[in-house]
């Protein structure tokens, strides 16, 4: 039996002002303790020195979405007439459907009009919640330039930091009695895991929150969750179990190469005299980046990625020049020896790049029957087809990274000058549909991101170089 006094008491204990609890009681909304804590944090945004962003995240099913709409609709929209709120979520139709379902359950006692085709919920005082969704981040651009008093983002780690920053520029108000703010809900993992962790969770863990407040969500917070759902979460394994059942952010990022340790795998210097053979991995692109990695192998089969060449919108002639320049800066020879110079110059194996391995696109036939690989060959650089099996390639990188914390030594090292690779490899995520594969990411419109450098590394490590002896016997 609902007891309003008891509810008011638990609201006050969570830090909610009495007027806020009255708003919820008037709407017939009973929030649970953790949700009340999130609402108390939302009210802190009213203060001139209070936060401007609230994060409510962690386990799945903790009651986050229910809270966000309750806070927006039953508290914020009711106390400030004409409030303009955006409720954003990734995925097709689900946001309008989601809002449709939730508003039926949450607002039967609050007069409102729901325009299903436009996804706009309008209260009697003119405050409104506009539901928008996106499949691809660039669709969010259409929302930029519009002014919102309040932005709610569901599943915020599906956004990159760039888009989150862009959205914050839409947060403006002309109302004297309102301070603009963002509410976010999310589970750990996803492309935005790292910025979300740094923006919301780290300040909370360090007790140093100023512009943000974070409320950790646990599955036990929600008494309305059916036990079967909790069992489904409990049956998950690995990082998903930690992330979705326990709401653990520390190791729950879904990072593919979780054993990567910058202090161990990234080198400032390396002993060039150890290298017995050199080769390259290449991922070709025109609108995407072309990335070529220069790799040396020592006699113990350790691999050292010592340099990278990265270009975008470059034609093969430019790429060949770039690749040769990279090799020259490492005092290496690439390409077929010039027969006329052959008598006086035959580079030793330790001074020449033996092979460049690249993915299938360089070998597919164009309209005239030629291939890009053949074009590169005429320019003096021979390209060889790589093993393009993604799962095998990632597994090989994983094995080579070892597990330093568990005493398994790495056999793959990357020089610190390889910025592109180092900005990519450690941040790759599991593809949740194919956990043994990496989630593909494309370069964004600013040219940032993308997994081209990791693909170049994959091609190189997953392809066996024929032994020098075998090559010599075959007269290559």
Q: Which residues in this chain contact ligand ATP in the complex, by CB under 6 A?
A: 30-32, 35, 60-66, 185, 187, 217, 222, 224-225
**Residue 130 interacting entry, from ligand ATP, Mg ion, none, C-beta within 5 to 8 Å by type:** none
For 255, 308, 394, the CA distances from 436, given in Å and listed in that order, are: 12, 26, 8
Q: Closest approach of Cβ 63 to ligand ATP, in Å?
A: 3
**Residue 30 interacting entry, from ligand ATP, Mg ion, none, C-beta within 5 to 8 Å by type:** ligand ATP
**Residue 224 interacting entry, from Mg ion, ligand ATP, none, C-beta within 5 to 8 Å by type:** ligand ATP
Nearer to ligand ATP, 188 or 450 (CB): 188
Nearer to Mg ion, 65 or 253 (CB): 65
Q: Closest approach of Cβ 132 to ligand ATP, in Å?
A: 17
**Residue 222 interacting entry, from ligand ATP, Mg ion, none, C-beta within 5 to 8 Å by type:** ligand ATP
**Residue 463 interacting entry, from ligand ATP, Mg ion, none, C-beta within 5 to 8 Å by type:** none
Nearer to ligand ATP, 71 or 463 (CB): 71
Backbone CA torsion sign across 262, 263, 269, 275: negative
User: φ, ψ for residue 131 (rounded to 5)?
Assistant: -90, 125
**Residue 470 burial (C-beta neighbours within 10 Å; 0-12, 13-18, 19+):** exposed
Nearer to ligand ATP, 35 or 71 (CB): 35
Q: Closest approach of Cβ 225 to ligand ATP, in Å?
A: 5
Rama region for 280: left / alpha / beta (φ>0; ψ in -120 to 50; rest): beta
Interaction site with Mg ion (CB under 5 A): 64-65
Q: Closest approach of Cβ 127 to ligand ATP, in Å?
A: 21
Nearer to ligand ATP, 24 or 357 (CB): 24
Nearest CA-CA partner of 243 in 207, 219, 214: 219
Q: Closest approach of Cβ 187 to Mg ion, in Å?
A: 8
CA angle 10, 16, 19 (to 5 degrees): 105
For 82, 311, 360, 390, the CA distances from 286, given in Å and listed in that order, are: 49, 8, 15, 21
Nearer to ligand ATP, 221 or 277 (CB): 221
For 110, 417, 440, the CA distances from 459, given in Å and listed in that order, are: 59, 20, 15
**SS3 of residue 376 by DSSP:** helix
For 138, 163, 172, the CA distances from 167, given in Å and listed in that order, are: 12, 6, 11
The C-alpha torsion from 89 through 94 and 100 to 105, rounded to 10°, is -80
Nearer to ligand ATP, 53 or 453 (CB): 53
**Residue 31 interacting entry, from ligand ATP, Mg ion, none, C-beta within 5 to 8 Å by type:** ligand ATP
């Amino acid at each position: 039996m609902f007891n309003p006094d008891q509810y008011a008491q638990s609201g006050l204990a969570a830090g909610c002002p009495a007027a806020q609890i009255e708003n919820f009681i008037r709407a017939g909304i009973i929030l649970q303790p953790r949700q009340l804590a999130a609402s108390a944090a939302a009210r802190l945004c009213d203060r001139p020195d209070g936060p401007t962003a609230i994060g409510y995240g962690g386990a799945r099913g903790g009651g986050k979405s229910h809270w966000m709409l309750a806070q927006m609709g039953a508290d914020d929209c009711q106390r400030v007439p004409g409030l303009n709120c955006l409720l954003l979520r990734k995925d097709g139709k689900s946001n309008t459907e989601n809002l449709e379902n939730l508003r039926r359950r949450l607002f039967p006692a609050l007069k409102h009009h729901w325009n299903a085709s436009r996804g706009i919920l309008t209260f009697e005082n003119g405050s409104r919640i506009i539901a928008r969704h996106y499949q691809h981040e660039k669709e969010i651009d259409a929302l930029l330039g519009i002014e919102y008093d309040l932005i709610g983002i569901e599943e915020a780690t599906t956004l990159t930091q760039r888009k989150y920053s862009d959205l914050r520029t839409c947060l403006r108000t002309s109302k004297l009695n309102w301070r603009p703010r963002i509410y976010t809900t999310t589970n750990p993992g996803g492309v935005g895991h790292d910025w979300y962790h740094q923006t919301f969770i780290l300040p909370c863990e360090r007790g140093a929150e100023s512009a943000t407040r974070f409320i950790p969500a646990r599955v036990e917070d929600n008494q309305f969750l059916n036990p079967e759902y909790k069992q489904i979460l409990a049956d998950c394994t690995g990082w998903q179990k930690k992330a979705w059942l326990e709401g653990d952010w520390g190791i729950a990022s879904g990072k593919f190469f979780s054993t990567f340790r910058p202090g161990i795998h990234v080198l400032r210097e390396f002993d060039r005299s150890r290298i017995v053979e050199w080769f390259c991995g290449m991922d070709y692109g025109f609108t995407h980046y072309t990335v070529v990695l220069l790799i040396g192998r020592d006699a113990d089969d350790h691999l050292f990625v010592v340099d990278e060449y990265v270009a975008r919108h470059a034609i093969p002639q430019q790429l060949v020049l770039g690749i040769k320049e990279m090799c020259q800066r490492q005092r290496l020879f690439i390409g077929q020896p010039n027969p006329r110079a052959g008598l006086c110059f035959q580079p030793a194996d330790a001074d020449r790049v033996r092979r460049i391995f690249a993915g299938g696109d360089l070998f597919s036939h164009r309209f005239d029957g030629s291939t890009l690989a053949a074009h590169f060959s005429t320019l003096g650089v021979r390209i060889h087809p790589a093993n393009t099996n993604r799962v095998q390639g990632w597994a090989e990188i994983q094995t080579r990274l070892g597990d330093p914390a568990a005493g398994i030594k790495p056999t793959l090292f990357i020089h610190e000058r390889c910025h592109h690779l180092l900005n990519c490899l450690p941040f790759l995520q599991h593809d949740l549909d194919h956990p043994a594969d990496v989630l593909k990411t494309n370069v964004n419109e600013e040219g940032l991101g993308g997994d081209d450098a990791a693909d170049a590394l994959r091609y190189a490590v997953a392809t066996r170089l024929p032994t020098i002896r075998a090559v010599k016997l075959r007269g290559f």
